[in-house]
């Protein structure tokens, strides 16, 4: 290989890659709230989503909606044959709903039609100085349907970029997992005709709950 | 989350769970505590700025008690007393430790005063290599010579044109954690890997053992044996590279000139907190698991007279030195009061890109940093200042390190001082990364004259001893965010600025698949093209040679050594 042409080729390749450097996964546009217990952010979708945001849902009703969810982790084959016999777990505890619901309700009033509301609920990790227990995901509203996706369910995530014990090794977050979600009462958990994903008909559901 | 369930709550294959559980059982047996897992009876919560363990009462019991309070069967005070006793009972019944899996096998006392994380990492590799005819003759004798026997004869590294080999390139065992408090940390790393380089045989060896204090964020301290904080590519772990292997130039410019690890102390501030980071270290400057007291050279019974073969005095010895008698010679330690000094500054201009290569985290905002380091390592004995290969009795540790890291051209230059500079920068954004470094090494010879080629010193080596410099630039882009990356690198290295036809150029392309979206499990397919010039003078391998060594040096044929490699590597870090 010609020695002089190599750096030029490398430079061209770099410029091409910079040009390609557009977002390919949703990215944060606004931090609505962040503290030690909960973080709520607005994230821009990378494809046209056409959500019907913003929407006003009181915190108590957001809590009532979230209270109905349970989940279990979706395993890959062949583990799926064995692991998914486990019963679903409740998604949120009451103390988590108390801190999350008000922030989520606030964010749903601010989020745009091409954005999603991303949230994380924190608790101390097993090694509390350097790990956090994270339950996170995102919500969006399509007409009367509220869509919820969970990325982490009580996953231990690092609080530092490098391993605190091995300075030379970076510790990025464990990537999202796939969870199977369930909602009770099941009659409100419908397939969204636009996306085909299971979502909660929150307007009908909220009619069945006592008004705040 | 239940504490027992955390053993299986992470994305871990059934295999590693079984292995991990087995290892944990062995360790638990050693340490003595009863073999029992923590009960799922509570959770850690933050209260008044501290994390405390709080028991959660059984929901059924709680419901019945609350109903009893409402019905007036028991008083509120009685209810609270029962609840308190229940919590205390549950707390007392807890084991005093917890065990779980989270990127390693973790063992911790409940008060977090002691924490142990055990990790294992392996890189299993298949290499398909083709080399040109120059590798058969003359072979690689200058940058990466092989040393033979106790005298350290320089040997050309030759091979036929094709090789296909499996190897366990890296097998590491880690024991790390904290003692007394989370601010006093320890770190131990062992290695056991396949021998592929004659200078670095396989076997179990200690790589790192160090302790760190992080009590003061602006004055952390690390003491022991570890990788020096000098330049970006060496600070970064081999677990988080964009290619299966470092570029040759990255290894050639370590802080000490010998190895990336050493024994000493470093003070620094907390990389996670400050935008500008400093590192200042003092080390032996002799490489890992070694210090200068282990390095010696031969001396006659008469002080100041260099030792050597029996019955002659081949070195240009001071006047009055007798004919040496090797069996009466001494091993003399010189320059044992010398230390190495290493400094580094880094500025996180935008964000905090860290040292890991590539933008695996898919940074939402641009990350930019630049840094630089300086290292001064005095009085390294590169072997006697002459060409009398085969009669220079001395400890070979320094020489083997020089040869293993590609600094073989400096062998035979006598005692040298290394001053090494490094400047680096990195940029990351949305899966794209660009990183580069520039290195310069000043080699100062203590013996200012040219090496002698005969006992009378009427013939000397040509004056081609220069310094060294090199650079590399590498870039990568995640075709699938956090999963699949394509990376390219070009590296350039001039190992002797006074010699011609000695340049080393390297081009690499790598396709990397991070199976779990972290560095912990990956498959890399790296193609490399390496071209090494065989020109330039190297003591003991170029003309003129010592009178008894014949007249055909390795330079007669010359040429460029060209190597093409495809490395397929699987990494598992668990």
* Residues B7-65: tens digit of each pLDDT: 333 344 455 554 555 554 444 444 433 333 333 345 555 554 444 555 567 777 878 88
Residues of B in contact with A21 (CB under 8 A): 429-432, 477
Place of tokens 């009703």: A61
Min Cα–Cα distance to chain A from B254, Å: 15
Which has more confidence, A97 or B546?
A97
| Cα separation, B49 vs A133, whole angstroms | 17
Size of interface A-B (CB pairs under 8 A): 144
pLDDT at B25: 45
Chain A's closest residue to B488, CA to CA, is: A10
Chain B's closest residue to A154, CA to CA, is: B1
Q: Is the pLDDT assigned to residue B78 strictly greater than 70?
A: yes
User: B136: Cβ–Cβ under 8 A, 6 or more apart, which residues?
Assistant: B158, B159, B160, B161
Min Cα–Cα distance to chain B from A80, Å: 12
pLDDT band at residue B451 using 50, 70 and 90 as cut-offs = confident
pLDDT tens figures, A25-51: 899 999 999 999 999 999 999 888 889
CB contact under 8 A, B1 and A175: no
Q: Report the SS3 class of residue B409.
A: helix
Residues of A in contact with B473 (CB under 8 A): 7, 10
pLDDT at B329: 76
pLDDT at A17: 56
Q: Compute φ and ψ for B252, nearest 5 degrees.
A: -70, -20
Tokens (6 digits) for B94: 């807890």
Tokens (6 digits) for B248: 């040759």
Min Cα–Cα distance to chain A from B270, Å: 10
- By percentage, how much of chain A surpasses pLDDT 70? 85
Min Cα–Cα distance to chain B from A95, Å: 11
CB contact under 8 A, A170 and B473: no
Closest CA relative to residue B273, chosen from B231, B337, B214: B214
CB contact under 8 A, A133 and B1: yes
pLDDT at B295: 85
pLDDT tens figures, B88-130: 777 777 788 889 998 899 999 988 899 999 999 999 999 999 9
Which has more confidence, B107 or B5?
B107
Closest CA relative to residue B228, chosen from B293, B169, B285, B289: B285
| Cα separation, B268 vs B343, whole angstroms | 10
Min Cα–Cα distance to chain A from B365, Å: 9
Residues of B in contact with A30 (CB under 8 A): none
Q: Is the pLDDT assigned to residue B379 strictly greater than 60?
A: yes
Cβ neighbours around B432 below 10 Å, total: 23
Q: Is the pLDDT assigned to residue B452 strictly greater than 90?
A: no
Quick check: A86 contacting B, CB < 8 Å? no
Q: Is the pLDDT assigned to residue B323 strictly greater than 90?
A: no
| Cα separation, A117 vs A52, whole angstroms | 12
| Cα separation, A28 vs A39, whole angstroms | 12
pLDDT band at residue A22 using 50, 70 and 90 as cut-offs = low
Tokens (6 digits) for B437: 């470094």
Which of B364, B494, B562 to substitute to test the interface with A, most A CBs within 10 Å?
B364
pLDDT band at residue B541 using 50, 70 and 90 as cut-offs = confident
CB contact under 8 A, A21 and B431: yes
pLDDT at B561: 96
Of B10, B11, B240, the CB nearest to A170: B240
Which helix (H) or strand (E) is B268 found in, with range? Answer: strand B261-268
Q: Across chain B, what does the average pLDDT equal?
A: 85
- Return the minimum-mean-pLDDT range out of A90-99, B223-232, B267-276, B442-451: B442-451
Of A24, A123, A171, the CB nearest to B44: A123
Of A14, A18, A162, the CB nearest to B271: A162
Quick check: A126 contacting B, CB < 8 Å? yes
pLDDT at B390: 46
Task: Find the mean pLDDT for residues B310-339.
Answer: 76
pLDDT tens figures, B139-180: 999 999 988 776 777 889 999 999 999 999 999 999 999 999
CB contact under 8 A, A127 and B14: no
β-strand pairing of B484-494 with B504-514? antiparallel
Task: Find the mean pLDDT for residues B502-530.
Answer: 95
CB contact under 8 A, B176 and A167: no
Of A13, A28, A169, the CB nearest to B240: A169
Chain A's closest residue to B486, CA to CA, is: A17
CB contact under 8 A, A162 and B354: yes
Tokens (6 digits) for B165: 């080999």
| Assembly ipTM | 0.84
Min Cα–Cα distance to chain A from B272, Å: 7
Which has more confidence, B376 or B154?
B376
Q: Is the pLDDT assigned to residue B224 strictly greater than 90?
A: yes
- Return the minimum-mean-pLDDT range out of A100-109, B137-146, B252-261, B309-318: B309-318
Q: Is the pLDDT assigned to residue B545 strictly greater than 60?
A: yes
Which of B15, B230, B237 to substitute to test the interface with A, most A CBs within 10 Å?
B237
Quick check: A22 contacting B, CB < 8 Å? yes
Quick check: A132 contacting B, CB < 8 Å? no
Is the entire prediction scored with pTM above 0.90? no
Min Cα–Cα distance to chain A from B407, Å: 22
CB contact under 8 A, A21 and B432: yes
Quick check: A124 contacting B, CB < 8 Å? yes
pLDDT at B253: 97
């Amino acid at each position: 290989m010609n020695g002089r042409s190599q750096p030029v080729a490398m430079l061209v390749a770099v410029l091409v890659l910079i040009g390609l450097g557009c977002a390919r996964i949703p990215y944060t546009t606004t931090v609505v709230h962040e503290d030690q217990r909960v973080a709520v952010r607005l994230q821009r979708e990378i494809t046209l989503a056409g959500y019907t945001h913003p929407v006003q849902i009181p915190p108590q009703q957001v809590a009532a909606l979230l209270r109905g969810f349970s989940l279990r982790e979706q395993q890959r084959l062949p583990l799926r044959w064995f692991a998914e016999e486990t019963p679903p777990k409740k998604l949120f505890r009451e103390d988590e709903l108390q801190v999350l619901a008000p922030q989520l309700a606030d964010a749903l009033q601010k989020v745009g039609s091409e954005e999603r509301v991303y949230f994380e609920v924190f608790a101390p990790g097993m090694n509390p100085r350097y790990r956090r227990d994270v339950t996170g995901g995102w919500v969006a509203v399509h007409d009367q349907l509220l869509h919820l996706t969970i990325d982490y369910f009580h996953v231990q995530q690092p609080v530092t970029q490098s391993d605190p014990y091995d300075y030379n090794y970076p510790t990025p977050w464990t990537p999202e997992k796939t969870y199977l979600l369930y909602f009770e009462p099941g009659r409100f958990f419908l397939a969204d005709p636009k996306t085909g994903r299971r979502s909660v008909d929150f307007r009908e559901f909220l009619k069945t709950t006592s008004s705040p | 989350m239940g504490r027992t369930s955390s053993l299986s709550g992470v994305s871990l294959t059934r295999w590693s769970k079984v292995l991990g559980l087995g290892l944990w059982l062995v360790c638990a047996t050693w340490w003595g505590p009863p073999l029992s897992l923590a009960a799922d009876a509570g959770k850690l919560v933050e209260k008044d700025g501290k994390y405390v363990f709080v028991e959660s009462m059984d929901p059924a019991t709680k419901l019945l008690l609350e109903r009893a309070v409402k019905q007036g069967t028991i008083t509120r005070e009685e209810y609270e007393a029962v609840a308190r006793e229940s919590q205390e009972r549950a707390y007392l019944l807890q084991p005093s430790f917890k065990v779980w899996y989270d990127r390693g096998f973790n063992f911790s006392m409940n008060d977090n005063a002691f924490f142990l994380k055990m990790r294992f990492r392996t890189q299993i590799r298949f290499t398909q290599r083709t080399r040109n005819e120059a590798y058969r003759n003359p072979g690689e004798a200058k940058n990466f010579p092989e040393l033979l026997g106790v005298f350290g004869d320089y040997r050309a590294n030759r091979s036929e044109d094709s090789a296909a080999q499996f190897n366990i390139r890296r097998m590491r065992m880690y024991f790390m954690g904290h003692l007394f408090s989370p601010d006093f940390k320890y770190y131990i790393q062992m290695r056991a890997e396949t021998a592929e380089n004659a200078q670095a045989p396989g076997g179990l060896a200690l790589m790192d053992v160090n302790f760190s204090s992080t009590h003061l964020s602006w004055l952390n301290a690390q003491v022991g044996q570890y990788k020096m904080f000098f330049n970006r590519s060496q600070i970064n772990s081999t677990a988080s590279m964009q290619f299966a292997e470092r570029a040759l130039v990255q290894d050639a410019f370590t802080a000490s000139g010998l190895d990336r690890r050493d024994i000493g102390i470093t003070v620094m501030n907390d990389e996670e907190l400050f935008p500008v980071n400093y590192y200042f270290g003092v080390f032996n400057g002799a490489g890992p698991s070694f210090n200068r007291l282990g390095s010696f050279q031969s001396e006659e019974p008469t002080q100041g007279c260099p030792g050597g073969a029996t019955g002659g005095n081949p070195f240009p010895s001071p006047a009055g030195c007798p004919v040496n008698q090797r069996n009466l010679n001494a091993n003399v330690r010189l320059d044992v009061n010398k230390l190495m000094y290493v400094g580094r500054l880094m500025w996180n201009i935008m964000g905090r890109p860290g040292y890991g290569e590539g933008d695996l985290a898919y940074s939402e905002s641009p990350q930019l940093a630049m840094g630089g380091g300086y290292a001064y390592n005095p009085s390294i004995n590169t072997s006697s200042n002459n060409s009398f290969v085969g009669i220079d009795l001395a400890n070979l540790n320094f020489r083997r390190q020089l040869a293993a890291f590609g600094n073989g051209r400096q062998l035979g230059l006598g005692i040298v001082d290394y001053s090494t500079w490094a400047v680096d920068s990195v940029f990351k954004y949305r899966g794209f990364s660009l990183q580069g470094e520039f290195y310069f090494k000043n080699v100062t010879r203590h013996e200012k004259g040219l090496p002698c080629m005969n006992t009378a010193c009427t013939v000397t080596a040509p004056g081609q001893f220069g310094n060294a410099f090199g650079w590399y630039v590498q870039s990568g882009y995640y075709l699938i965010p956090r999963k699949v990356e394509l990376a390219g690198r070009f590296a350039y290295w001039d190992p002797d600025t006074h010699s011609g036809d000695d340049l080393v150029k390297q081009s690499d392309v790598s396709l990397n698949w991070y199976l779990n979206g972290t560095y912990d499990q990956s498959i890399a397919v790296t193609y490399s093209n390496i071209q090494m010039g065989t020109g330039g003078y190297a003591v003991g391998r170029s003309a003129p040679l010592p009178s008894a060594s014949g007249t055909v040096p390795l330079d007669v044929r010359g040429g460029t050594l060209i190597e093409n490699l495809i490395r397929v590597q699987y990494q598992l870090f668990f």
